[in-house]
Chain A
Amino acid sequence: MKRDPIYGIMAEFDTPTALLEAARRTYQAGYKKIDAYSPFPIEGLAEEIGFEHNAVALVVLICGIIGACTGYLLQYWCDAVTYPLNIGGRPYNSWPSFIVITFELTILFGGISALLGMLALNGLPMPYHPVFNVPRFSSASKDRFFLIVFSSDKQYDASATRRFLEGLQPRSISEVPS
């Protein structure tokens, strides 16, 4: 795939409120491939840029269930199939005593899959990202709030999009080279 020389257009805002408002208006204007950057989590921002849900929860659920089955079957196989021991006259398949390990493996599988699933789905670790080509972007981890419209968006047009973002009264606008 040929790489677009321009990654997108980025607007800089002073306050979280301004960013929320800008994100809302940009999304309503029909731009769907947008993203926002802020020094701290802003409640409601994810919804404004059209983020609904991710697949991490599903990955964790599936891996948790696999962990539960692994934990139970491991003990069942050991204590009831390959090496059955009579402990105090209890049945070989003593489910109450299997629950603890079953629970632990559910958590273990779920926890590891949450980490790996998150990394796999968000593409980290990422040594290079185009947004850092904009020098002003370093303040996104301090006190500035950024909104970007990606050049891959259907409605993206270098001059029209820039004009639209200017209408949102940002502090500055920068073109992001990829």
Chain B
Amino acid sequence: MSAARANHLDLSPPPIVKKMSQRSLAVGILFGLGAVALAFLRPEEFYRGYLLGFMCWLGVALGSMAILMIRHLTGGGWGTIIRRILGAAMRTLPLLAILFIPVILGIHHLYIWAQPLNNIENKHLREHLEQITRSYLTTNGFVMRAIIYFAIWNVCSFLLSKWSAQTDDASAPNNSQRFKAVAGPGLILYAFTISFAAIDWIMSLDPSWISTIFGLIILIGEILSAMCFAVVVERILFNYKPMSELLRPDFVHDHGKWMLAFVMVWAYFSFSQWLIIWAGNLPSEISFYLKRLSGGWGWIGLSLVLFHFAVPFAILLSRPFKRNIRKLVWVAVWLILMRYVDLFWIIEPNFSKTISLTVADVVVPVAIGGIWLWYFFRNLAALPLVPAYDQDAHEVLQPEHAGHAG
């Protein structure tokens, strides 16, 4: 049935995808040159900006993998219509593994525990670090764990992509059970690996601080940014066939609902961390918020409450708004920007007592983004936008209530 529909609707990606790939590469090279210059002129600032940019774009790739896995488990047209967008973002993970190398090169610039401990004046911090750098936070351990995370993510991505690519022609095997077999354990593995990665790469910037919910805050932020990214790409594709024919208001509505849900979960986790640490008021925990609420950083924190939660939440409550892709895309773009601000507020106060935005904080994330988007659009151009012979393809290719052309 889906084959019949697929035959007279060309599912291959429109030429805009190739064009976007080229434009992204141009931006990536231009800002990349600036980033390389910064790496030599101001290495300290460069590596901070690099970690920030890396976490932003890693979030989109990993979040896409998580949403794709949720789709494989739950089904539903909302996921089928964007699964190739999510898949293309997921398949940037090999690139991100390579892009992680500068973080390892800059380990001595970024992480206080990787520096010679004798130089640290604070006696308590030095003793604490002497203890944890013997067991967990070692340079070798840091690299080894990163290899394990990327290996797990890339294996999941490889399997899901491989089986997905098989469902583009009529001889496709039924891969539904295979998808499920990877997606279920994969989601659990993702939750654990991203928690450890968040501890290694971000929380360890301040090695005396601990928060058990921190990994989940990073996790939900990634999934939120991925959903918003998929909406933005879907909006670009909506100008062209086949997406203009396939994208129904119902699907957009579901994407809007996901965005609302993820915004709420992000607020829930972030507030939980704040409430627990504020109520406990322990020196080792409260330092996180003392740093981030003084020296002008508090304004960023307040803007997160308003513009990462309150305003998008209020707007996304509206049903007609969520059903209109032309409107929803603006909240999606806004939330992607707020993800950057949130990560900026988490990472940068570790290095500066007063509020400061360096050139590297902007140039390097844009450079990584350009290269990442180039690779993403290249992946997106490689496969049809909907796998026509997948078991679930009818959810998208067949009109609802069969026969009623909506």
Contacts and interface: CB of A to CB of B under 8 A. Distances in A.
Contacts of B274: 96
A17 B403 contact: yes
Contacts of B400: 43
B279 A17 contact: no
B401 interface: yes
Interface in A95-136: 96-97, 99-100
Contacts of B403: 15, 17
A96 B278 contact: yes
A20 interface: yes
B275 to A, nearest CB: 5
Nearest to A17: B404
Contacts of B401: 15-17, 20, 42-43
A73 to B, nearest CB: 20
A167 interface: no
Contacts of A99: 271, 275
Nearest to A45: B401
Contacts of A44: 406
A88 interface: yes
Interface in B356-406: 400-404, 406
Interface string A36-69: 0000001110000000000000000000000000
A36 to B, nearest CB: 13
Given A43-B250, A88-B281, A100 B404 contact: no
Which interface residue of A20, A44, A97, A100 has the most chain B CB atoms within 10 A?
Answer: A44
Interface in A12-35: 15-17, 20-21
Interface string B108-127: 00000000000000000000
B250 A96 contact: no
Interface in B268-326: 271, 274-275, 278-279, 281
Given A15-B403, A16-B401, A17-B403, A100 B281 contact: no
B275 A16 contact: no
Contacts of A43: 250, 400-401
Contacts of A88: 281
Contacts of B275: 96-97, 99-100
A43 B278 CA distance: 47
Contacts of B250: 43
A48 B275 CA distance: 48
Contacts of B404: 16-17, 20-21
A97 B277 CA distance: 11
A42 B274 CA distance: 44
A42 B278 CA distance: 49
Contacts of A97: 275, 278-279
Interface of B: 250, 271, 274-275, 278-279, 281, 400-404, 406
Given A42-B401, A88-B281, A96-B279, 14 more contacts: A15-B403, A16-B401, A17-B401, A17-B404, A20-B401, A20-B404, A21-B404, A43-B250, A43-B400, A43-B401, A96-B275, A96-B278, A97-B278, A99-B271
23 contacts: A15-B403, A16-B401, A16-B404, A17-B401, A17-B404, A20-B401, A20-B404, A21-B404, A42-B401, A43-B250, A43-B400, A43-B401, A44-B406, A88-B281, A96-B274, A96-B278, A96-B279, A97-B275, A97-B278, A97-B279, A99-B271, A99-B275, A100-B275
Q: Which 10 residue pairs spanning A and B have beta carbons closest together?
A: A17-B404, A16-B401, A96-B278, A17-B403, A96-B275, A17-B401, A43-B400, A20-B404, A97-B279, A43-B250
